[in-house]
Chains A and B, each alone.
Chain A
Amino acid sequence: DAKTTQPTSMDCAEGRAANLPCNHSTISGNEYVYWYRQIHSQGPQYIIHGLKNNETNEMASLIITEDRKSSTLILPHATLRDTAVYYCIVRVNSGGSNYKLTFGKGTLLTVNP
């Protein structure tokens, strides 16, 4: 799987948009970008994923650059409950051992009142 680079930590004011960047400059054509988050002491939670088009769901939006070397997760109106570690992961979406899910260190997002 391609490696990802994320900032160690970020702050955001409550009610504002949180934009979390991820660099994946060595991503290959068949690798997807996934985002998970982990609220303190809990198991990680899936947020969103995409290949090359921008994606949106009820939790967040994912913007992937045209060259696919970086992406941004957007939480449109951050709340205090969004304080968590956010993980950006790239992996293939085909079968066998390449489908394993490998985490990096992630970004600690702190939403401030």
Chain B
Amino acid sequence: NAGVTQTPKFRILKIGQSMTLQCTQDMNHNYMYWYRQDPGMGLKLIYYSVGAGITDKGEVPNGYNVSRSTTEDFPLRLELAAPSQTSVYFCASSHSPGQGAEAFFGQGTRLTVV
């Protein structure tokens, strides 16, 4: 059982480049989340989704976009990379309320923008 899978694990991006961080889960979870974690800091919610076709902003959405065309996939798009987006990005998924409380996290994507 793979759980939540993130790709790539590491990436170096130049300023102004774009990229998509991939996240897929095989647990049929409706809820999915994207977080960023700067060194020595806690996790900040970027975007989340409560089901296919439904997304909403979290605490720090600027500079990012998401889509949720399927239950399994929740990609995060950086259009014009900036040094301030250097961070570790975590994707997570969870059941709907009442079906289980645990959120499962991927192992992270370490992104450096130079």
Interface residue count on the B side (C-beta < 8 Å): 29
Q: Which residues between 8 and 38 of chain A lie within 8 Å of chain B, taking CB atoms?
A: 32, 34, 36
Which residues of chain B are within 8 angstroms of A95 by Cβ–Cβ distance? 50, 96-97
Q: How many A-B residue pairs have CB under 8 A?
A: 65
C-alpha gap A104/B42 in the complex (Å): 6
Would you call B101 and A42 a contact (CB within 8 A)?
A: no
Q: Is B74 interfacial (CB 8 A cutoff)?
A: no
List chain B residues, Cβ under 8 A from A45: 105
Given contacts A43-B107, A99-B97, contact A105 B33 (CB under 8 A): no
Q: Contacts of B4 on A, CB cut-off 8 Å? A: 43
**Contacting residues, chain A, for B33 (C-beta < 8 A):** 100-101
- Using a CB–CB distance below 8 Å, which chain A residues touch chain B? 32, 34, 36, 41-46, 49, 85, 87, 92-97, 99-106
- Residue positions of B touching A, CB distance < 8 A: 4, 31, 33, 35, 41-45, 48, 50, 56, 58-59, 88, 90, 92, 94, 96-98, 101-108
